Chain A
């Protein structure tokens, strides 16, 4: 079963749930798809190997280029800009579409690989943890997410810890998953942003359930929202000082009996076998 964990608002508790669920399940892999701010590995200090994720950016042969501007006008991402003497290429803006060489009549464009980030691979008690890390200055980690999801890891389940928000990187995270767990922080902002994710999940026809997190009072913002919108509630996690302390130190919560029980409920409700 492939399960994505998403939230809308950042800091709702995606990572906490992802690392603990991963640790709790016997036959699962964990993918950290929050490539801009990947934190899952902080809970498992292990040696790791890395592999580069590359895109191919255009290299323009000035001896062949006639400055006809066809490539620049084709590029939807404005990664090629004409100057008086040469066509300037902004590698960071390139989306790896390979369109520019198709329109170049002089055959002046070839491609060279450029790293956009890495995939770090760790093994935690026999289970793989893949971390996607976008290079600073790069625009999009979608390709890193895609490559991590395509890796064959022989595990029965894959948990994918997603990025906050509802942009294309969340879509990339949700692509092909069987189920999504929407973590809602029990707050005004938490509920507002979760509502945008619900719109997205419904549009993608992705089955999902809700985990309410950091609940401070029983009939708070989030509880009302779930009831009014008839969302499937998986469980409700109270705000506890001990959870917050362990989490801030990068420690798992599976040592806490109360949290174990919550995980058990989630596993049962989602139907992870």
Chain B
């Protein structure tokens, strides 16, 4: 049984990747997966080697054989995304790959062809096997790429006898996040004390509960607004949510990342204190290394 734990947030920039990185020195026997495929940053601090780069094919995209096309306009008419203009030129950035144009074309002038939407990389890291991916900017079906990263991470875990997978997710609540959160064992939701952070936290909590994942809440940079920290605390209590950790704002933490150093590894005092270890004890699905 492989346990999956994901760090998510709703609002962007609350500190998902930083928290993920800080967890690494304390976790054992796991595979790491970066599911933030359109802004993957984890690799920047994990100096490992790439073992394999595999192209990932999204949905097939249409191409029109102009020799067979009679410009009848049926494809233009039936395309619900406005991806085929009145001269039957396909605008791939609007195409969602449904294949309706191919079905309606009476001249068999349209073929659906495989399209690479990103690349998946299998890497090594000091903390275990690491899988990440990079979406080709502008491509559709990023949720499918996320699903593939998770699937590769599970395969890697089986191959190397690891018991858990730690996932760094993307902001929002849409397809990428749905692909990340569905079927995981535990979610850590990182928020910040601001009107935006609070607003977006409520949305990701609803999503987590919709897919029956009970989350742990982390308030990052909590000293930035004690007012909103209090409001988030009250909200957690009302909702029966576990407020698992509050991290104070510390410029040094931010700068340490910019120096390519994992804060918890370079002896930052917060990660040697009781709140941090209490937090680690609440993470059920991973093996905590006793340091």
Contacts and interface: CB of A to CB of B under 8 A. Distances in A.
Interface in B78-128: 78, 80-81, 93-94, 96-100, 103-104
B31 interface: no
Interface in B19-40: 36, 38-39
Given A37-B173, A248-B195, A10 B225 contact: no
A204 B137 CA distance: 10
B72 interface: no
B195 A193 contact: no
Contact of A193 (B39, B175, B178): B39
The winner among B44, B103, B138, B224 for most chain A CB atoms within 10 A is B138
A43 B160 CA distance: 50
Given A37-B12, A249-B227, A139 B195 contact: no
Nearest to A56: B80
A137 to B, nearest CB: 6
A167 B139 contact: yes
Contacts of B36: 165
Interface in B45-99: 59-60, 78, 80-81, 93-94, 96-99
A99 B103 contact: yes
A9 B104 CA distance: 40
B140 interface: yes
Given A192-B44, A248-B195, A8 B39 contact: yes
B42 to A, nearest CB: 10
A187 B260 CA distance: 11
A203 B12 contact: no
A167 to B, nearest CB: 4
Contacts of A120: none
A129 B8 CA distance: 28
A196 B195 contact: no
Contacts of A134: 173-174
B19 to A, nearest CB: 13
A199 B134 CA distance: 13
B275 interface: no
Interface string A67-85: 0000000101100000000
A136 interface: yes
B215 interface: no
A166 B10 contact: no
Given A39-B199, A168-B138, A249-B225, A95 B257 contact: no
Given A102-B103, A165-B170, A189 B17 contact: yes
A98 B78 contact: yes
Nearest to A39: B196
B277 interface: no
Interface in A166-191: 166-171, 175, 185, 187-189
Contacts of B197: 248
A140 interface: yes
Interface string B254-276: 10011010000000000000000
Contacts of A163: 172
Nearest to A187: B258
Contact of B137 (A10, A11, A37, A200): A200
Interface residues of A, number: 60
A91 interface: no
Given A102-B103, A139-B174, A76 B203 contact: no
A12 B13 contact: yes
Query: Contact residue range for chain B?
Result: 35 or more
Contact of B140 (A10, A137, A168): A168
Contacts of B172: 34, 36-37, 163-164
A200 B38 CA distance: 11
A128 interface: no
Contact of A10 (B39, B60, B97): B39
Interface in A96-155: 96-99, 102-103, 134, 136-141
A32 to B, nearest CB: 11
B138 A200 contact: yes
Contact of B206 (A39, A136, A165): A136
Contact of B13 (A103, A185, A197, A248): A185
15 contacts: A10-B11, A10-B12, A37-B172, A37-B173, A74-B99, A76-B60, A77-B98, A98-B78, A99-B103, A136-B203, A136-B206, A165-B142, A171-B93, A249-B194, A249-B227
Given A136-B206, A165-B36, A189-B17, 14 more contacts: A10-B11, A36-B10, A36-B171, A36-B173, A42-B196, A42-B199, A98-B78, A164-B38, A166-B137, A167-B140, A203-B138, A248-B192, A248-B228, A249-B228
Interface of B: 9-14, 17, 36, 38-39, 41, 44, 59-60, 78, 80-81, 93-94, 96-100, 103-104, 134-135, 137-143, 170-178, 192-197, 199-200, 203, 206-207, 210, 224-225, 227-228, 251, 254, 257-258, 260
The 8 A-B residue pairs whose C-beta atoms are closest, nearest first, are A10-B12, A11-B13, A36-B172, A97-B98, A250-B195, A248-B194, A165-B38, A200-B137
